[in-house]
Amino acid sequence: MAVDQTARTLAEKVWDAHIVRHVDGEPDLLYIDLHLVHEVTSPQAFDGLRNAGRSVRRPDLTLATEDHNVPTLQIDRPIADPVSRIQVEALRKNCAEFGVPLYPLGSDEQGIVHVVGPQLGVTQPGMTIVCGDSHTSTHGAFGALAFGIGTSEVEHVLATQTLPLKPFKTMAITVEGELPADVTAKDLILAVIAEIGTGGGQGYVLEYRGSAIEKLSMEARMTVCNMSIEAGARAGMIAPDATTFEYLRGRPKAPIGADWDSAVQWWSSLPTDDGAVFDREIIVDAAKLRPFVTWGTNPGQGLPLSASVPDPAQIADPAQRSAAERALEYMDLTPGTPLTEIAVDTVFLGSCTNGRIEDLRAAASIMQGRQVADGVRMLVVPGSVRVRLQAEQEGLDQVFTEAGAEWRHAGCSMCLGMNPDQLAPGERSASTSNRNFEGRQGKGGRTHLVSPQVAAATAVTGRLTSPTDLTDASASANVNA
């Protein structure tokens, strides 16, 4: 196919639309449409502004919430951990001083920053969105260029509403065909990460495309884009389409009337042009995907749930072999053990990856009429207060609590264990979150990343389980009751 020099990718179009200043030999200065802020990566940035006598240029394009370290129990009481409390109080003081809108603990709009943005409708196609959190890639599901930044960059955006950036390369991840009925967006992205590796996306913006991606709901698309960082890419994007527009229509911050029409017109111009060239392309056959879990200590160390713990001796690459040996030692796993025989103590359902209403519905549909296995603790942590309220309206909280799970308040919770929700040393979890790093969910804790459906089935049997392998015997009541 002839290369069309004028054809551009989605990522390039969004980039080009935000260049404030371009000088050869320097990074481009890009305008930032939305800056999301939370308590952990912002205090030093606000201090920097104060020390230099600077203000926040656009408080009206900035939004803060409390999520990373907040408790998910007894949220009406002062935060028990004094250090966490000081950090949250610092955010409140900084937002008040600099005029930044904040949704604090107790507000109906509080929640994980990457759940809050989309549900309010402030996340829209074609925007540039940043946050001092690597899972900002979530917002790319709308066709926004969204990526995580460090605290120095947080300060830079607060002061200037811009960022100096070097252009990314582009990679297409084309997923064609039909996903099997028991395969979710989480399985898809875990399989992609296992394929390209934790460094495979380094320097790239990923664009997920193809018929299987087009059929995904917005929430499933967010799950996919969320974990782009786990493949080393700073951003993942999906072209906006009718699904995107329908999700946005009527949200509190979505445009209305003639503005809506103007917006849709621009959004519709964003998808990658025919003939545009990606620096790299990966093709995935959706029909071949299966429920997927991780066995190791990085998100690239994953396999279909029907497989067995790998034998490091069979891995040719020496660095990967020694990483696998270390991972199996940490995870206390023996090569050759079927993954479905791995027993867990804890199941965590939540996070910016899988803490939205569709995730809770999917898990609840499996847990309906079933019980959490003896000796297993299951935490269900909605991604936001809005998700929690919606779930309660639908009675999902009843399904979880009747099954023996704990129904918690919104926050990042056990995904990173900054609050009291942690694994104890040696405990093993099936977790719908995004990272299985050593100690991520608590010092000495062991994490298997799974979809909400596998998490629910695992809670019922006490070992890693696909919902299709649940027997009727595990249901103590009529599922259709």
Partner 1 sequence: MDPFETHTGRVLPLRRSNVDTDQIIPAVYLKRITRDGFEDGLFAAWRKDPEFVLNLPQYEGATVLVAGPEFGTGSSREHAVWALQNYGFRVVISPRFADIFRGNSLKGGLLTIEVPESVVERLWELAESDPSSRVTVDLQARTVSFADETVSFDLDDYSRWRLLEGLDDVGLTLRHTEEVAIFESNRPTWMPRTVAQ
Write down the least CB distance from residue 155 to partner 1, Å: 6
Sort strands 377-380 and 446-449 into parallel, antiparallel or unpaired: unpaired
Beta bridge partner(s), residue 165: 28
Rg (CA), the chain: 22
How far apart are the C-alpha atoms of 37 and 114, rounded to whole Å?
A: 10
CB of 373 to partner 1, least distance (A): 28
- Report the residue number, 383 or 417, with the smaller CB distance to partner 1: 417
State the pairing for strand pair 28-31/19-21: antiparallel
What does the alpha-carbon distance between residue 219 and residue 123 come to, in Å, rounded to a whole number? Answer: 13
CA neighbor of 63 nearest in space, from 33, 20, 18, 24:
33
325 vs 394, beta carbon nearer partner 1: 325
Smallest distance from partner 1 to CB 157, Å: 10
What is the signed CA dihedral for 32, 36, 39, 41, rounded to 10 degrees?
A: -40
Main-chain phi, psi angles of 94, to 5 degrees: -65, -40
Q: How many Cβ atoms sit within 10 Å of the Cβ of residue 467? A: 21
Would you tell me how many other CB atoms lie within 10 Å of the CB of residue 199? Answer: 12
Scan for tokens 């394929």, then name that residue: 195
Within 125-177, where are the H helices? 151-160
Tokens representing 339 are 């993954």
Distance between CA atoms of residues 360 and 254, nearest Å = 25
Alpha-carbon gap, residue 115 to 391, rounded angstroms:
15
Shortest Å distance, C-beta 461 to partner 1: 29
Nearer to partner 1, 330 or 389 (CB): 330
Cβ 125 to partner 1 shortest distance, Å: 11
Output 38 or 370, the one with its CB closest to partner 1: 38
3-state secondary structure at position 229:
helix
Cβ nearer to partner 1, comparing 68 with 386: 68
Length of the chain in terms of residues written: 481
For the bound state, the minimum distance from the C-beta of residue 169 to partner 1, rounded and expressed in Å, comes to 11
Please tell me the distance from the alpha carbon of residue 203 to that of residue 168, in angstroms, as a whole number: 6
Minimum CB separation of residue 183 from partner 1 in Å reads 26
User: CB of residue 477 vs partner 1: minimum separation in angstroms?
Assistant: 39
Shortest CB 316 distance to partner 1, Å: 15
Specify the residue, 62 or 429, whose C-beta has the smaller distance to partner 1: 62
Q: In sequence order, what are the residues at sequence separation of 6 or more whose Cβ sits closer than 8 angstroms to the Cβ of residue 479? A: 368, 369
Q: Which is nearer to partner 1, 57 or 377 (by Cβ)?
A: 57
From the list 97, 92, 118, the residue with the least C-alpha distance to 37 is 92
Our CB check for partner 1 shows the closer of 21 and 215 to be 21
**Which is nearer to partner 1, 99 or 338 (by Cβ)?**
99
**Nearer of residues 217 and 320 to partner 1, judged by Cβ:** 320
- 280: β partners: 171
